[in-house]
Structures are given as C-alpha cells and as structure tokens.
Amino acid sequence: MQNEQDLVLRAQQRDEAALTQLYEANFDKIYRYVVIKIGDRTEAEDISQQVFLNAFKSISTFKRQQGIPFSAWLYRIAHNQVVDYLRKKAKRPAVPLEKVMIQAEDDPTMTAERNLDMEQLSQAARQLTSAQREVISLRFAGGLSIAEVASVMSKSEGAVKALQHSAIVSLRKLLSV
C-alpha cells in the first residue's frame, strides 16, 4: 500500500512511469470487475479505459488522507461508470438465467468438474442483490481483501463477510454447482 501511495504522489505530478505502473497494476482487475457486472467483454474494455481516463484526469484530487486506498477509489469510479452504462442499457433485454441453469443441468455428472465461464458467472451474478454482486465482483474479480471491499463499500468487515457468504450460497443455487 505504501508503494501505491508513492506511485500516486508521483502520478499526481504526471510522472509517466508512475501512471503506467498504476495502470498496469489495476487495469486487468478493473476490467474483470466490469465484465462480471455487465457481462460483455468488449463493452467492458471501453468502460475500463474510461475508468482510467476519468481517474487520471482527476488524480490530483485524490487524497490518501480521505481514508481510502487508491485502488478502492478506482473501484468507486468503476462502479459509477458501470451504473451509468447499465442505466443507458436498461431497456436492452437480458438473457434469462434459466438458460444458464439448463446448461448446467444437461450433464449433472459433469457439474462439479465443469468450467464455469465468465458469461455464466456474470448472468448468475445479476440475479444477486446489488450488495452481494458488489462483494463477489470485488472479491473474485478485483481480488480485493475483505478490508478493502469494506472500504470500497463503506461497510464493516463483518457485514462484507456475511454478504460474501450469502452471495456464494445464492450463486451455488443459481449455478447448480
């Protein structure tokens, strides 16, 4: 985290190397987070790029003293970006979840061994509550710790653990794992 703080200070001075490092360290995670939430890889690339563009434009306003690490700040920007995107796409029909579940039930003997793909996970995640989906996205796609998720979501660690538990239980049912 200390390194991140260093990088951010340098990035605030438009140090290109620092900006590149921040990008390299976070881009894939942000991308995964966005994919899980919207289920479209191509759109996720554009949204992730926009997240970084917004972040780098306003990086001078970021202050570590506000109590959140830079990565958490990035996820908040990503969250807002995704909300905007979903709002605009609200009228687009979603693929019904039954499709996913039927696929899973086609071969029950393979269920435990099968490879779940991102699209299936994303579709299942959309059936969760928004808080559960946020925890799953941040934990499994973003790779954040419970403490970091708690910081992003402004919740206690206990609440995040409970959400994580209930989200996994729901995912299990939805995916018939």
Partner 1 sequence: MNGKRTDDILNICLERLFLGDTIEQCLASYPEMAAELEPLLRTAMLSRQAAAISPRPEFRARARAELLRSVSQRPEPRRRWFAAWQPAWVTSLVAVLVLLLAGTGTVAASANSMPDEPLYPVKLATETVQVTLTRSPLDKAVLFTRLADRRVREIAVMAEKGKAGEVERAARRLDIHLTQVARLAAPVGQVVESEGEVTMMAPAESEGEISIMAPAPEAPPDAIPAPVAPPQRPRPPGVPPDDKEKTRRPEGAPAERPALKESPGRGLKEQQEQKLEKRAELKRKLLQRASEHPEVLLKVMDRAPESAKPALRRAIERSSQGYQKALDSLE
Report 73-92 residues binding partner 1 (CB under 8 A).
none
C-alpha triplet 85, 88, 93: angle, nearest 5°? 100
Of the candidate spans 56-64, 70-78, 83-91, 126-134, the one that interacts with partner 1 by CB under 8 A turns out to be 56-64
Rule CB under 8 A: choose which of 86, 99, 154, 165 binds partner 1: 165
Rule CB under 8 A: choose which of 25, 97, 131, 146 binds partner 1: 146
Residue 18 touching partner 1 (CB under 8 A): no
Rule CB under 8 A: choose which of 68, 72, 141, 152 binds partner 1: 141
Rule CB under 8 A: choose which of 26, 48, 81, 151 binds partner 1: 48
Report 97-116 residues binding partner 1 (CB under 8 A).
112, 115-116
Rule CB under 8 A: choose which of 25, 97, 101, 168 binds partner 1: 168
Q: Which is nearer to partner 1, 1 or 102 (CB)?
A: 1
Helix 157-175 to helix 97-106 angle (10° resolution) is 60
Q: Count of CB atoms within 10 A of residue 132's CB? A: 21
